[in-house]
């Protein structure tokens, strides 16, 4: 034990005036090791006591701080688990017949923030792409997606493609599908745990993306930077994206038909439409699809598969001469029509609906040429109407020719308001003002809008592509203006076993082909003489295995369809961007290696 001759009172006594302070000495003090010595002022017992008090206080304070920090970390961790549990409740309850995975169905009312830095109106592909882009450029950003849809953001293409070819009897609940290459995935972009609870968005560490489902923005005050929801909630914002998409059109003849006909009608667009139609296809004997475009032809082929296995009658009718008649040249449209017929579909071209009525237990479709069609259920796939209701309250311009919100080259409608996806009418620097209704455009325009919302100030130059698959063996990709009213030149070659959508997904790893195409563009296109066989312009009745169709305006290529040719879109994009006249399109077709084995 350490001993010091000076007592405590003596140690603390102030030194006498006029004398130098005497150094206290502890003659019997022995330090067991140099590591225990103090660099402070030496003293006797009082000094050691002060040292002990200081060290003890420091240790105690450190312990309290550490305990408090650990407790706060536990609380944050528990909060995160609770957040994940709340958002995953749809997934967990799906087995008991409740909402499927991805459906955000809160049990208690959500406390909506009164202000968000980034407000995205609409919960589709464009909004999700914008949210991801905003977070990539600003990792601390707080983004709120207000979606009229009850589900979390998901991709629409599989609803009319791969989901119908699934062998899973519970596919309408799981919403998981196998791509043509056999890989399985969900239609949801991200699982529920990816998103932040809406009420936590203002305070969650490092920001995040929150989704407010089942709510609609009904009024927009551009000057006050506020919106009002259908339940009266008001939210202010710093920057806003409008990605409201569109609603499926109906036929006037069906709208006039009355409620009984409406009950047996599907306007195909959302998850619930797929779920309902899939169920109906198991219960009825006949389904009629009205429309010969992308959606109508894809659904016809998908349901035609069931026509062979379950005895379902599938009828497709449309006013054009053949399937995809507004897009493909006549010879290829006719070939496509025969392909759809081989899938088990009764195709009726040149059919214009005059009236629809209920006759007994069935629907009676009266055509203008006198033909009659009896069926149990109707699917109307006759186009999309952009959702522009907010234009009136916001004072935003709607394009009179193409529809949609009119925006500039940076997708801006106002200084702090952007528009992306189906609802955007934008200026294409090569092809003029346009409005595009395809997945790839939603991805690219949403991404660009998100970048510009964080200060990028980039113009929209990308030529978006789109694709359609008539099953796993026939598919095509297109870019630019593909309108059958334009002059076309088609160059074809014999297909191989590798020239199918199934093989294309095996190479790219995804059936959502815009995910692999992104914004790629060939750096250089050189057109020269080649020793490869000279491609031939197609003749009527040919089996069009694979080929390239060029769409011309003033002798310049403005659109390209790649028929059973995949992973060549960067070349097509470059050709359209260059905007040059080509004397021999047969030579241009060789750029796509259509004669590769």
- Tell me the C-alpha distance between 104 and 111, whole Å: 15
Per DSSP, what are the bridge partners of residue 121? 146, 242
pLDDT band at 498 (very low <50, low <70, confident <90, very high): low
Task: Pick the range with the lowest mean pLDDT from 307-311, 498-502, 524-528.
Answer: 524-528
Q: How far is CA 457 from the centre of its chain?
A: 22
Cα three-residue angle 40-44-47, rounded to 5 degrees: 45
> 297 near 290, Cβ under 8 Å?
no
Look up residue 416 and give its two tokens.
């702090």
Render pLDDT for 296-315 as a digit per residue (tens, 0 to 9).
999 999 999 878 788 899 99
pLDDT band at 508 (very low <50, low <70, confident <90, very high): low
State residue 562's pLDDT score.
94
Render pLDDT for 360-397 as a digit per residue (tens, 0 to 9).
999 999 999 999 999 999 999 999 999 999 999 999 99
Render pLDDT for 58-83 as a digit per residue (tens, 0 to 9).
656 655 555 554 454 444 434 443 44
Q: What is the DSSP pairing of strand 208-212 with strand 142-146?
A: parallel
Q: With a threshold of 0.85, does the pTM exceed it?
A: no
Query: What is the mean pLDDT of the segment spanning 414-431?
Result: 93
Look up residue 135 and give its two tokens.
């977070």
Query: What is the mean pLDDT of the segment spanning 559-568?
Result: 91
pLDDT band at 438 (very low <50, low <70, confident <90, very high): very high
Q: What is the DSSP pairing of strand 265-267 with strand 412-414?
A: unpaired
State residue 76's pLDDT score.
44
Look up residue 415 and give its two tokens.
């200084």
Render pLDDT for 172-229 as a digit per residue (tens, 0 to 9).
999 998 876 678 899 999 999 999 999 999 999 999 999 999 999 999 999 999 999 9
State residue 63's pLDDT score.
58
Q: Between 590 and 42, whose confidence is greater? A: 590
Q: What is the DSSP pairing of strand 432-434 with strand 226-229?
A: unpaired
pLDDT band at 451 (very low <50, low <70, confident <90, very high): very high
State residue 384's pLDDT score.
95
Per DSSP, what are the bridge partners of residue 556? 553, 581
- Tell me the C-alpha distance between 451 and 446, whole Å: 9
> 519 near 569, Cβ under 8 Å?
no
Residue from 547, 552, 558 nearest 593 by CA: 547
- Tell me the C-alpha distance between 199 and 87, whole Å: 12
Residue ranges of E strands in 345-400: 345-348, 353-359, 362-367, 372-375, 377-380, 384-386
> 313 near 347, Cβ under 8 Å?
no
- Tell me the C-alpha distance between 133 and 442, whole Å: 13
State residue 485's pLDDT score.
95
Query: What is the mean pLDDT of the segment spanning 121-134?
Result: 98
Per DSSP, what are the bridge partners of residue 476? 468, 563
Neighbours of 313 (CB within 10 A): 17
Question: How big, in percent rounded to 5, are the helix, strand and coil portions of the chain?
Answer: 30, 25, 45
Render pLDDT for 244-289 as a digit per residue (tens, 0 to 9).
999 999 999 999 998 999 999 999 999 999 999 999 999 999 999 9
User: What is the residue-wise DSSP string for 82-131?
Assistant: HHHHHHTHHHHHGGGTSSPTTB---SS-----SEEEEEEE--SHHHHHHH
State residue 539's pLDDT score.
56
Cα three-residue angle 453-458-460, rounded to 5 degrees: 105
Burial class (CB in 10 A: 0-12, 13-18, 19+), 12: middle
Q: Is the pLDDT of residue 23 over 60?
A: no
Cα three-residue angle 187-189-191, rounded to 5 degrees: 95
Give the three-class secondary structure for 276: helix
Task: Pick the range with the lowest mean pLDDT from 6-20, 314-328, 403-417, 524-538.
Answer: 6-20
Q: Which residues contact 108 (CB under 8 A, 6 or more apart)?
A: none
Give the three-class secondary structure for 279: helix
- Tell me the C-alpha distance between 188 and 211, whole Å: 13
Residue from 356, 354, 372 nearest 258 by CA: 356
Look up residue 421 and give its two tokens.
């996806």
Give the three-class secondary structure for 266: strand
Look up residue 447 and give its two tokens.
């991404």
Render pLDDT for 140-160 as a digit per residue (tens, 0 to 9).
999 999 999 999 999 999 999
Phi, psi of 453 (to 5 degrees): -70, -20
Q: Is the pLDDT of residue 38 over 50?
A: no
Q: What is the DSSP pairing of strand 345-348 with strand 432-434?
A: unpaired
State residue 39's pLDDT score.
40
State residue 468's pLDDT score.
85
Q: What is the mean pLDDT of the chain?
A: 81
State residue 400's pLDDT score.
95
State residue 86's pLDDT score.
43
Neighbours of 24 (CB within 10 A): 17
User: What is the residue-wise DSSP string for 438-476?
Assistant: SHHHHHHHHHHHHHHHTT---------EEEEESSSS-EE
> 375 near 358, Cβ under 8 Å?
no
The DSSP symbol for 105 reads: -
Q: Is the pLDDT of residue 348 over 60?
A: yes
Q: How far is CA 544 from the centre of its chain?
A: 33
Task: Pick the range with the lowest mean pLDDT from 11-20, 277-286, 302-311, 427-436.
Answer: 11-20
Q: How far is CA 493 from the centre of its chain?
A: 35
pLDDT band at 567 (very low <50, low <70, confident <90, very high): confident
Q: Is the pLDDT of residue 4 over 80?
A: no
Q: Is the pLDDT of residue 511 over 80?
A: no
pLDDT band at 559 (very low <50, low <70, confident <90, very high): very high
User: Which residue is listed with tokens 């186009």?
Assistant: 383
Count of residues making up the chain:
597
Task: Pick the range with the lowest mean pLDDT from 107-111, 419-423, 441-445.
Answer: 107-111
pLDDT band at 538 (very low <50, low <70, confident <90, very high): low
Burial class (CB in 10 A: 0-12, 13-18, 19+), 52: exposed
- Tell me the C-alpha distance between 548 and 545, whole Å: 11
pLDDT band at 316 (very low <50, low <70, confident <90, very high): very high
pLDDT band at 52 (very low <50, low <70, confident <90, very high): low
Look up residue 491 and give its two tokens.
């160059």
User: Which residue is listed with tokens 């203008």?
Assistant: 368
């Amino acid at each position: 034990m350490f001993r010091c001759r000076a007592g405590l009172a003596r140690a603390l006594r102030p030194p006498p005036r006029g004398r130098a302070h005497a150094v206290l000495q502890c003659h019997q003090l022995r330090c067991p090791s140099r590591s225990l010595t103090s660099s402070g002022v030496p003293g006797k017992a009082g000094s050691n006591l002060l040292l002990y008090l200081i060290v003890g206080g420091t240790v105690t304070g450190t312990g309290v701080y550490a305990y408090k920090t650990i407790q706060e970390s536990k609380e944050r961790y528990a909060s995160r688990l609770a957040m994940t549990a709340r958002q995953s409740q749809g997934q967990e309850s799906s087995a008991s017949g409740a909402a499927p995975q991805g459906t955000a169905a809160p049990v208690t009312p959500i406390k909506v923030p009164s202000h968000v830095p980034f407000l995205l109106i609409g919960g589709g592909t464009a909004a999700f792409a914008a949210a991801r882009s905003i977070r990539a450029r600003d990792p601390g950003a707080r983004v709120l997606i207000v979606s009229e849809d009850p589900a979390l953001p998901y991709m629409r293409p599989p609803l009319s493609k791969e989901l119908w070819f699934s062998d899973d009897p519970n596919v309408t609940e799981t919403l998981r599908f196998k791509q043509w290459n056999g890989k399985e995935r969900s239609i949801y972009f991200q699982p529920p745990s990816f998103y932040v609870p809406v009420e936590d968005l203002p305070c969650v560490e490092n920001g995040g993306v929150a989704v407010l489902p089942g709510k609609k923005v009904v009024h927009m005050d551009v000057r006050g930077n506020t919106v009002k929801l259908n339940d009266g909630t008001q939210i202010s914002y710093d920057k806003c994206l409008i990605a409201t998409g569109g609603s499926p059109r109906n036929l006037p003849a069906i709208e006039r038909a009355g409620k009984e006909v409406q009950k047996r009608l599907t306007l195909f667009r959302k998850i619930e439409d797929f779920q309902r139609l899939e169920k109906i296809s198991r219960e009825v004997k006949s389904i009629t699809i009205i429309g010969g475009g992308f959606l109508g032809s894809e659904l016809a082929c998908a349901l035609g598969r069931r026509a062979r296995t379950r005895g379902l009658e599938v009828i497709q009718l449309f006013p054009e001469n053949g399937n995809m008649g507004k897009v493909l040249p006549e010879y290829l449209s006719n070939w496509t029509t025969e392909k759809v017929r081989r899938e088990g579909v009764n195709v009726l071209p040149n059919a214009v609906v005059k009236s629809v009525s209920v006759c007994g237990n069935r629907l009676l479709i009266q055509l203008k040429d006198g033909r009659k069609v009896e069926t149990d259920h109707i699917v109307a796939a006759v186009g999309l109407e952009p959702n522009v209701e907010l234009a009136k309250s916001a004072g935003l311009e709607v394009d009179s020719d193409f529809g949609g919100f009119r925006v500039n080259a940076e997708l801006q409608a106002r200084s702090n308001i952007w528009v992306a996806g189906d609802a955007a009418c934008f200026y294409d620097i090569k092809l003029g003002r346009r409005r595009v209704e395809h997945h790839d455009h939603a991805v690219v325009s949403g991404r660009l809008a998100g970048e510009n919302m964080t200060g990028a100030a980039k113009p929209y130059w990308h030529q978006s592509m789109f694709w359609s698959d008539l099953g796993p063996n026939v598919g095509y990709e297109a870019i630019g203006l593909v309108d059958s009213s334009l002059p076309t030149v088609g160059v074809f070659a014999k297909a191989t076993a590798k020239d199918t959508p199934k093989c294309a997904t095996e190479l790219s790893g995804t059936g959502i082909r815009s995910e692999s195409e992104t914004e790629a563009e060939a750096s250089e296109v050189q057109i020269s003489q080649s020793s490869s066989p000279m491609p031939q312009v197609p003749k009527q009745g040919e089996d069009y295995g694979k080929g390239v169709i060029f769409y011309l305006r003033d002798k310049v290529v403005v659109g390209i369809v790649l028929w059973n040719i995949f992973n060549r879109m960067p070349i097509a994009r470059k050709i359209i961007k260059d905007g040059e006249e080509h004397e021999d399109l047969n030579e241009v077709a060789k750029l796509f290696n259509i004669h590769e084995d």
